Structure 1
Amino acid sequence: MNAEQGRFDPAQVLTLFMELNSLTKIRRAGWVLMGVSDAETISDHCYETALFAVVLSQFWEEPVDLRKVLIMALFHELGEVRLMDLPRRAGRYVKTAKKAAEHEIMMDVLDGLSPEIPLLLEEMEKKETPEARLCEAAEELQIIFKALVYAKENRGDCTEYREDVKNYNSLGIQPAHELAKLIGEKLEGYLGSKPYWPIGYTARKQS
């Protein structure tokens, strides 16, 4: 059964929400490795991404379907409900497998409940439509914003996120660009001259 067929199965919906509730408990691994105490959960990240997307949409001249944007923002980490969150330093080892696994998890968890969600997440990944660009820009903005929050509160080592600010791609969304610039300036004020030590990214020399 699914939403397109117009049938509502309360047991299936309740099971979905019991699974989604796990995202309120799983900490974002990158922040944990940075030494951040009481780091944000996956749900925190998705919620703030949605907030950024909505606010940015009010100041971007491009018209967007906010319903689509919110679905993208709120469900874009759905695959982590069973896989957990992995830090980006693990990417070079598991990136392709992780992407495939998260897709399979999403399809199993939804079990036909909402055919629209997988399609919108695929759209987000391509970053071609205004809605996808807005959500992607909002997600990356949320990450550097969270680095600013933790740096301000002196929680963990956020020096790595200087590079995130430097490489931030607003995808043509001017309000996002301006916010990222301000976040970078504020972040530098809290980090000062503290150097970045890239732990976890070295690779052995190939013979």
Structure 2
Amino acid sequence: MSNSDANKIIEFLELVGRLKHIQRTGWILRHVNNPESIAGHMYRMGILSFLIDEKDGLDKDKCIKMSLVHDLGECIVGDLTPHCGIPAAEKHRRETLAMRELASLAGNAGTEMFNLYKEYEEQKTPEAKFVKELDRFDMVLQAFEYEKSEKRPHGLQDFFDSTEDKFSHPKVLTLVDELKKQRSVFETLNQQTDK
């Protein structure tokens, strides 16, 4: 590796390092205490992808990698949500430009990262669809964790509503069903203690 290549890699790492500190916008807007970072979200999605087994019919390594790069462009553009007033097409344009910039700095891995990002955005492959479901599942799991830690039963319902009927992979459906059961128990217990 040349000094020039090493310089680009350091710049790339500093940019993606920002993700450790950028808190996710949806939680900030809902006044969640100590909201997760984008990197924390992507990390747990990577771990969720690690749980894939052969019977799931997916390329496990691709899903792990896609989970780790799907929001990478947010280190440059930030975590843009529908509540930010930026049209979806403009959000996509900004994130794609950011991913091109990151790919240009990431050496040989840059092309693979950009292609994985593009595949995720296009939502045409089983892996891209699965990772999108993991993205949604991680969001509702995180919402439930905040409801529990902040003793806000049903307090983040809009996150659950936004994912209604958006899950289809059997593995994710099983996780969603279990999460709903646990959330129902939590809400029942908290209604009883409020009386």
TM-score normalised by the chain length of structure 2: 0.83
Contact 1:23–1:80 under 8 Å retained in 2: yes
Partner of 1:163: 161
* Higher-RCO chain (CA-CA 8 Å, sequence separation at least 6): 1
User: 1:125 Cα shift?
Assistant: 2.2
How many angstroms apart in 1 are the aligned matches of 2:112 and 2:173?
Answer: 30
Structure 1 residues 64 and 159: alpha-carbon distance in aligned structure 2, compared to 1, 3 A threshold: closer
Spell out, residue by residue over 1:6-45, the C-alpha distance to the aligned partner (whole angstroms, 9 max, x if none): xx92221111001000000000010111111100000001
Structure 1 residues 177 and 133: alpha-carbon distance in aligned structure 2, compared to 1, 3 A threshold: same
Deviates more, 1:175-184 or 1:19-28: 175-184
Partner of 2:79: 85
Partner of 2:65: 71
Spell out, residue by residue over 1:153-202, the C-alpha distance to the aligned partner (whole angstroms, 9 max, x if none): 126631212313533323xx2111011111123223444699xxxxxxxx
Partner of 1:5: none
Counting matched residue pairs gives 184
Q: Which one has the bigger helix percentage?
A: 2
Deviates more, 1:9-18 or 1:105-114: 105-114
Contact 1:165–1:184 under 8 Å retained in 2: no
Partner of 1:109: 102
The amino acid that maps onto 2:15 is E
Indicate the SS of the match to 1:179. helix
Identify which of 94, 99, 102 aligns with 2:87: 94
Partner of 1:152: 148
Identity among equivalent pairs (%): 22
Indicate the SS of the match to 2:157. coil
Structure 1 residues 140 and 162: alpha-carbon distance in aligned structure 2, compared to 1, 3 A threshold: closer
How many angstroms apart in 2 are the aligned matches of 1:155 and 1:71?
Answer: 35
Deviates more, 1:105-114 or 1:21-30: 105-114
